Amino acid sequence: MKSRPAASSVQIKLVTCPTCGGDSVYAASNPFRPFCSERCKNIDLGAWASESFRMPATGLPEDQIADDEPRSSASH
């Protein structure tokens, strides 16, 4: 789905929206810049907030915890 404008008559600086990756108008007419819309801005702020409040629950995988037996020192 291509929504690129064929020809821009006026010089509008377009930047990439950090949220959706689409074209965002980086001008005074866009109060949500560098986001393309208020929705994307809210999504980005929400993601930042949730990322901040997220508990660091990602510890060691169970494989490393269970593999604690010194099987290499087994004698034959």
The verdict on 41 binding Zn ion (CB under 5 A) reads no
The verdict on 25 binding Zn ion (CB under 5 A) reads no
Q: What is the DSSP string of 21-63?
A: -SEEE-STT-TTTTSSSHHHHHHHHHHHHHHHH--------HH
Q: Which of 15, 20, 25, 27 binds Zn ion (CB under 5 A)?
A: 20
Least separation in angstroms between residue 58's CB and Zn ion is 28
Shorter beta-carbon distance to Zn ion: residue 22 or 49: 22
Instruction: Give the interface segment with Zn ion, choosing from 2-10, 37-45, 54-62, 66-74 (CB under 5 A).
Output: 37-45
Q: CA nearest 41: which of 51, 52, 30? A: 30
Chain residues in the site for Zn ion (CB under 5 A): 17, 19-20, 36, 40
